[in-house]
Amino acid sequence: MLIVAGSDPSGGAGIQADIKTVTALGGYAAAAITALTVQNTVTVKDVMPVAGSFVAAQMRAVLEDVGADCIKTGMLNNVDVIASIVETLTKVNFAGPVIIDPVMVASSGRILMADDALELLKSDLIPKATLLTPNLPEAELLTGLKIETVADMEAAAKTILKLGAKAVLVKGGHLDSELLTDLLLTAEGERFVIETKKIDTRNTHGTGCTTASAIATFMAKGQALEQAFRAAHAFVQVAIKLAPGFGAGHGPLGHAEAGQRGGDAGWN
């Protein structure tokens, strides 16, 4: 699998979380870095973008040699990078699943994507998505809608589908509710919901990256979208419960430990 995303030096999110997830689930992770960040569990202090041409060169180097059954994107914070990724996907005529995690808002609340990049994401990259996986703040940015209920989540998902994605997973962790509701809609009209009790924890750094990468890994192994969605949700829940407790803010997940539970938890 090829991951196209930014780097998190604290190891909780971004490329680091992606690679941990893919490896824990028995996949092979290749990576093209889109940005370097200065961040930890508390805040994002700085971002250094990688030139779009260099991102594209990384992607081509992997696809021309190692190959990829699935591509997953994460932090894409400027027009140059997004345009280069769109051009690369078009030129190589990539036929596998493309999972887009529209990383726009850090756990600290910092906006990570420029306005013009958001518009290009919507017009050019989202139509290539097999699945888009926004959390609620990201879904609000994509649609301009206020999301406060599960009904609002569904309205946002339907609006995003109109941008051309084949399916949208709106993650409901930010809802003011004791329940966690994740809603998956497809362009064919399928509707899948997972509802669980929220885990009372601060250790949620990288949950979005982990969810998208887990779905991508399962789909790369040949699972259908619904099955991959449910398996990824189960993996993330266990990874949160097994978090190591590092950092003073939103701590990282226990990816490796969760991976070891796969036989018992039902995702391997």
**Cβ(32)–Cβ(267) below 8 Å:** no
**Spatial distance between the Cα atoms of 215 and 116, rounded to a whole number of angstroms:** 28
- Nearest Cα neighbor of 246 from 204, 189, 216 is 204
What's the pLDDT tens digit per position in 181-227?
999 999 999 999 999 999 999 999 999 999 999 999 999 999 999 99
What's the pLDDT tens digit per position in 235-267?
999 999 999 999 999 999 999 999 998 755 566
Check whether 107 has a pLDDT greater than 70: no
Give the count of beta carbons closer than 10 Å to the beta carbon of residue 198. 14
pLDDT for the residue 266? 60
Domain boundaries, the chain: 2-265
**Spatial distance between the Cα atoms of 151 and 241, rounded to a whole number of angstroms:** 28
Q: Which residues are catalytic?
A: 171, 204, 206-209
- CA angle 151-155-157, nearest 5°? 115
What's the pLDDT tens digit per position in 41-50?
999 999 999 9
Q: Model confidence at 114, in pLDDT bands (50, 70, 90)?
A: confident
- CATH code linked to domain 2-265: 3.40.1190.20
